[in-house]
């Protein structure tokens, strides 16, 4: 069995992450005109992540509902509330609440 070089593996993961980020950008751009299409884009992004075993970057993870996997847009399809050290993101489609640790001087891009 041929062993894949480590560099090559990393390259594939890099490309996978680039594609995921691109799909999220498309989801963002299309949300205004077609929210269903955005859900489809993030579903594809999730699938790429699973296929290549890459974790979604945390700032993108917060944009998907853990339960119904829809694209979350703060103020439109999700609600964000700060509770001390936690940030609670509520999916307005299924009502699922997700908690993420929150630091005031967090570098959120
Ligand atoms: Zn949901």
The answer to whether 65 is a known ligand-binding residue is yes
Which of 59-68, 77-86, 99-108 has the lowest average pLDDT? 99-108
The answer to whether 68 is a known ligand-binding residue is yes
pLDDT tens digits, residue range 19-46? 999 999 999 999 999 999 999 999 999 9
Task: Output the CA 90–ligand 1 centroid distance in Å.
Answer: 8
Question: What pLDDT was estimated at residue 62?
Answer: 94
Q: Write out the residues surrounding ion ligand 1, Cβ under 5 A.
A: 65, 67-68, 91, 93-94, 96
Of residues 23 and 7, more confidence is placed in 23
Domains and CATH numbers, the chain: 2-101 (1.20.5.420)
* 68-102: b (≥16 Cβ within 10 Å) or e: eebbbbeeebbeeeeeeeebebbbebeeeebeeee
Long-range own/partner contacts, residues 32-41 (CB < 8 A, 24 or more apart): 35/71, 35/77, 38/71, 38/73, 39/69, 39/70, 39/71, 41/71
């Amino acid at each position: 069995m041929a062993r894949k070089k480590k560099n090559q593996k990393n390259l594939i993961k890099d490309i996978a992450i680039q594609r995921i980020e691109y799909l999220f950008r498309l989801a963002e751009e299309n949300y205004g005109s077609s929210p269903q299409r955005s859900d489809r884009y993030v579903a594809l992004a999730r699938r790429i992540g699973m296929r290549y075993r890459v974790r979604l970057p945390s700032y993108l993870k917060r944009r998907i509902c853990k339960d119904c996997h829809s694209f979350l847009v703060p103020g439109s399809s999700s609600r964000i509330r700060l509770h001390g050290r936690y940030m609670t993101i509520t999916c307005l489609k299924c009502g699922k609440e997700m908690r993420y640790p929150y630091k005031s001087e967090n570098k959120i891009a």
